[in-house]
Amino acid sequence: MMNRKELENLAQQWFEQQAWKPFPFQKHTWTAFLQGKNGLLNAPTGSGKTYALWIPIVLEHIKRTPDYKTKKPKGLMAIWVTPLRALSVEIKQATERFVEELGVPLTVGIRSGDTSQKERAAQKRAMPNLLITTPESLQLLLASKAYDKLFHKLIAVVVDEWHELVGNKRGVQMTLALSRMRSISPQLRVWGISATIGNLDQAREILLGTDKAFVANSVLIKAKINKQIEVKSVIPKTIEKFPWRGHLGLHLLDDIIPILRKSKTTLIFTNTRSQCEMWFQKILERYPEFAGDIAMHHGSISRETRLWVETAIRDENLKVVVCTSSLDLGVDFAPVETIIQIGGPKGVSRFIQRAGRSGHQPGKTSVIHFLPTHAIELIEASALRKAVKNRVVEDRVPHLNSFDVLVQYLVTLAVSDGFYPEEIFPEIKSTFCFQTITREQFQWVLNFITLGGQSLQAYDEYKRVEIEPDGKFKVNSRSVAMRHRLQIGTIVSDAVLSVKFLKGGYIGSIEESFISKLKPGDVFTFAGKQLELFRIRNMQVLVKKSKQKTSKIPSWMGGRMSFSSEMSDLLRQELYLANADDAKKSKELKALEPIFKRQKLESIIPNADQLLIETFKTREGYHAVIYPFEGRFVHEAMGSLIAYRASLLKPITFTISFNDYGFELLSDQPIDMQGILDNNLFSTDYLRSDLEKSLNATEMAKRQFRDIAVISGLVFTGFPSKLVKSKHLQSSSQLLFGVFEDFEPDNLLYQQAFRETFEHQLQEGRLQLAMERINTQTIIWKACQKPTPFSFPIITDRLRAKLSSEKLADRIKRMTIQLEKS
């Protein structure tokens, strides 16, 4: 048997044959792995992380198999989990290259949503030795009969891009699967790979769970690859005094053309898919010479098109790609020289990650251009530059006690071989997410999946998981099993329809909420094409090409992001500088001078010790705009909190809107700002209970419940080809939320909606801290005649919440009276 040194030499020699030199972090990872350790590797995309971990896995096999050159081993040896299936091909090629050249007859395979039925069946008979898969496909393996036989020879599981999973429910799902696999295969080594995030140590704990010995036998390896990032902002030549939002930045389109021409390949990152469509179309419209050199990439476009774009970037066949976060991750695009970010990226990590997509060669500087969509975003640009310089990165906050994911996981196990609660409970408790779960809560979940509630009731026909005489929890109904398999996963989106040409040819998928607003004959822009809606049938949108110029552009939900607390802090610091000497101002701040001047006409630019409130009246009603500069999520919460408290003073209805700078309360009745101040409505007393009540009155928790309802299987989202069969099972989570509110308010899943709103939407504690900060500030209330420049982006935002303390009938009557008066 070869010892560790000899094994590592094998790898070293292979590297030398490629004329490469292994990085220190790669060698450290080989050693740690071969010593039997678990760990987390902190390395960016394109740094050689694939070889850092695939190599020692293969070496471990060589060590265990003296005749490794001839013996063809059977069964799964290692699983590589990647959150993005687009990445799997690249990983597979790299792996195959190594095993082939080393002469180890190991098979490498991919299993994901794109794998054909036939190939899956073949894999079921003979699994590849090294499997590349997604968290969801891994769950599906757990939902198949005799899954334990698949996993019992596993050497390692590697979770790639762990930072993308650690802060969401896919991460919870992943750690539950790991807890099961570790029981089946006690020798299993668990590794993660993560880009830089604020809480790397915690990310390792979340991956490895709470078993002390297991964590003690682990390492955190950091690839110290320091990349130079240069941030340049596109400063508009003329600054509008009233910075409307929603410009999409297109007025600066001409300014980026020289940048595009100069660079070999440029990626243009937009924040939403509609923005992406718009930019793509406008560039082509104004600069038709880019035709053939420009492409678009976003999550709704068909996979074939996306893969084609990715290949074309690599092969240097494209000059410009307009994209969304769909290109944040993954494959190494060496030819990319320049990045343009349209609009605020909302977070430092995301910005750094995007910047890092350019200038991949070692020693090269990454260049990112920031293009503001409204002038005030220029403040963000200069704040971001500081963030990049100081390497400020955000934490990814883990989910705790996600009962919806647990419900799904337990039903998954019940669908395959069934489970015994006594065996599974300790495993679940060993995961980071469920370390505090109590027996009672676990029993609640068991009751939920077997009884559909907490006790057996008359006339009930609930059917999901059954308890067999020996105590095994099992799904025996084939239709329950089938529906569950269709719904495994924790990424919830709107019902989507596939878009196809009448003559055939899949273009992509589109949300039902958009398409339902169109009539046949309407023209819309999608995937960069003008399409005429022909008809909708069987979850398919049939379209024809159109030559019409004007069209509707789908707006996709989920494009809204909030500033992280780090980003908010930087932004405030930057803004306060607007009052400082010119010497301290960045060129962005200097460019904003006309706006600041107009702002100071009726109002002020607040300092660190001031909270600015502006009130004014417009045709729309009475506005109160408050500027804490804490990020969208905190503002949404604070807006509903203050609206709730104000609504206790008298019956009133508020429309609340918010952005990253502040929030607005709008009412059809005068807002008694003096009363709000006199009654100390910014107090931190009773914060939690007031907030809870205000959440009840607004839509926040209801929105959060949607995902929970889908993940836990309360709502069946259906499946295109099975649509007819499930028709009577369609319901909206909104309706359901109301039913729980009235009949089962102590339901753990219903309560989870509120908890998640607190912990994740509001990033618990941030509101508290923000309110505490406000309480140290002096409130400056400016009663203005007209909207100020700062208020413009907020009062023109379309995303709104409402809160009312009036009776519905009274509201309708008053609306009528007001209408008649006008």
Partner 1 sequence: METLKINCHQRSFVLHPSGAAYWEEKGMLLIADVHLGKVTHFRKHGSAIPQASLYQNFEKLQAVVDYFKPKSVCFLGDLFHSSINSEWHLFKDWIEQLQSEVVLISGNHDIISKSMFDGINVTVKEEWLIDDFLLTHYPESRDGLFNLSGHIHPGVRLKGFGKQFLKVSCFFRREQQLIFPAFGNFTGKFIVEPNSKDRIYVNTRDEVIEISAKLIALK
Q: Which is nearer to partner 1, 35 or 816 (CB)?
A: 816
Contacting residue, 445, 480, 523, 762, with partner 1 by CB under 8 A: 480
Residue 464 makes contact with partner 1 by CB under 8 A: yes
Amino acid (one-letter) located at 228: Q
Site size for partner 1 (CB under 8 A)? 58
The stretch among 83-91, 133-141, 727-735, 781-789 that binds partner 1 (CB under 8 A) is 727-735
CB of 453 to partner 1, least distance (A): 6
Which token pair is 761?
């939407």
CA distance linking residue 636 with residue 464, whole number of Å: 38
296, β-bridge pairs = 322
CB of 694 to partner 1, least distance (A): 17
CB of 794 to partner 1, least distance (A): 12
Contacting residue, 54, 151, 448, 705, with partner 1 by CB under 8 A: 448
Which token pair is 466?
């059954």
Q: What are the two backbone dihedrals, phi and then psi, of residue 131, each rounded to the nearest 5 degrees?
A: -115, 135
Roughly how many angstroms between the first and final C-alpha of the chain, as a whole number?
91
DSSP secondary structure letters along 725-792: TTGGG---HHHHHHHHHHH-TT-HHHHHHHHHIIIIIS-TTHHHHHHHHHHHSEEEEEE-SS--TTTH
CA distance linking residue 38 with residue 191, whole number of Å: 6
Residue 714 makes contact with partner 1 by CB under 8 A: yes
CB of 795 to partner 1, least distance (A): 9
Contacting residue, 365, 479, 548, 573, with partner 1 by CB under 8 A: 479
Residue 731 makes contact with partner 1 by CB under 8 A: yes
Amino acid (one-letter) located at 529: K
Subset of residues 579 to 598 that bind partner 1, contact rule: CB under 8 A: none
The stretch among 4-12, 114-122, 210-218, 653-661 that binds partner 1 (CB under 8 A) is 653-661
Helix (H) / strand (E) containing 414: helix 403-415
Q: Which is nearer to partner 1, 401 or 733 (CB)?
A: 733
CB of 736 to partner 1, least distance (A): 7
676-to-68, 372, 775, 786 alpha-carbon distances in Å: 77, 35, 14, 21
Contacting residue, 470, 582, 685, 820, with partner 1 by CB under 8 A: 820
CB of 649 to partner 1, least distance (A): 17
The contact mask relative to partner 1 for 733-752 (x = CB under 8 A, - = no) is -xxx--xx-xxx--x-----
Residues in the chain: 822
SS3 content of the chain, % helix, strand, coil (to 5): 45, 15, 40
Q: Which is nearer to partner 1, 61 or 464 (CB)?
A: 464
CB of 613 to partner 1, least distance (A): 18
Q: Which is nearer to partner 1, 41 or 465 (CB)?
A: 465
Contacting residue, 64, 463, 560, 650, with partner 1 by CB under 8 A: 463
CB of 730 to partner 1, least distance (A): 10
Non-local CB neighbours of 171 within 8 Å, separated by 6+ positions: 162, 165, 206, 398, 399, 433
Q: What are the two backbone dihedrals, phi and then psi, of residue 244, each rounded to the nearest 5 degrees?
A: -60, 150
Residue 816 makes contact with partner 1 by CB under 8 A: yes
CB of 667 to partner 1, least distance (A): 5
| Residue environment code for 211-242, b if the CB has 16+ CB neighbours within 10 A, otherwise e | eeebeebbbebebeeebebebebbbbeebbbb
340: nearest Cα among 276, 401, 386, 415: 276
Q: Where are the alpha helices (DSSP H) in 474-592?
A: 478-486, 512-515, 565-576, 587-591
Contacting residue, 452, 528, 559, 651, with partner 1 by CB under 8 A: 452
The contact mask relative to partner 1 for 21-60 (x = CB under 8 A, - = no) is ----------------------------------------
Residue 640 makes contact with partner 1 by CB under 8 A: no
Non-local CB neighbours of 418 within 8 Å, separated by 6+ positions: 468, 472, 473, 474, 475
For 546-634, where are the E strands, in sequence order?
610-618, 621-627
Contacting residue, 95, 338, 564, 653, with partner 1 by CB under 8 A: 653
Residue 716 makes contact with partner 1 by CB under 8 A: yes
**Sign, Cα dihedral of 221, 223, 226, 227:** negative
Q: Which is nearer to partner 1, 218 or 655 (CB)?
A: 655
Contacting residue, 621, 696, 722, 769, with partner 1 by CB under 8 A: 621
Q: Which is nearer to partner 1, 388 or 801 (CB)?
A: 801
Which residues sit at the interface with partner 1, rule CB under 8 A? 448, 452-453, 457, 459-464, 477, 479-480, 483-484, 517, 620-622, 653-655, 666-669, 713-716, 728-729, 731-732, 734-736, 739-740, 742-744, 747, 800, 802, 807-809, 811-816, 818-820, 822
